[in-house]
Copies of this chain bind each other. A is one copy, B any other.
Amino acid sequence: METVTESQRVGTAKKLEKMFGHIDYRNPPELCPVRDVMSVASDQWSTLIILWLGYFPVLRFNKLKKYVYGISNKVLSQRLKVLEADGYITRNAYPEVPIRVEYSLTEFGQSYVKKLLELTEWMQENSPKVLANREKYGLL
C-alpha cells in the first residue's frame, strides 16, 4: 500500500482515491463502477450521439446517422441500445409504415450532456494547442 504525502499530491486530485479504488493497486472495472459506467458513456461514438441528441431534442435513426458522421448502422444500433439501457436516452417506435423510431435524451441524459459540453468546450479552445504540439513532436 502506497502512501502519498500531502506535498506530493496535486490539489483536487484526492478524490481519485474514492473514485478509482483505494490506491491499493486494485481498481478493475468489476470493482469500480465509475470506470465501468464511464467507459460506456465517454466512448467516442456514444459521446457524439449524446451531443447531437442534446442539440436536436429528438432524432430518428437515419438522421442521427447523418449527424454522427462516419458511424455504421451496426455500431449506431449497438450504442443506442447500451445508452438506452444505461438510462441516457429513450427510444420510441411508432408502428407506421415504414416504421418511425425517435430517440431523445432522458432528463438524466440531459444532465450528462451538460457536463459533456463543458469538456467539448475545453477541447474546442485547446485543440489548436494540441495540433501545434503534434507538429512540433513530429519534427523531433
Residues of A within 8 A of B (CB): 4, 8-10, 12-21, 23, 25-29, 33-44, 47-48, 51-52, 54-57, 66-67, 69-70, 84-87, 105, 108, 110-124, 126-131, 133-134, 137-138
Contacts and interface: CB of A to CB of B under 8 A. Distances in A.
Q: Tell me what chain A mostly uses at the interface: helix, strand, loop, or mixed.
A: helix
A55 B127 contact: no
A134 B59 CA distance: 23
Contact of A134 (B39, B44, B51, B85): B85
B108 A42 contact: no
A10 B67 contact: no
B69 A120 contact: no
A126 B110 CA distance: 13
B129 A87 contact: yes
A129 B111 CA distance: 12
B48 A35 contact: yes
Contact of A41 (B17, B67, B123): B123
A137 B85 contact: yes
A33 B131 CA distance: 8
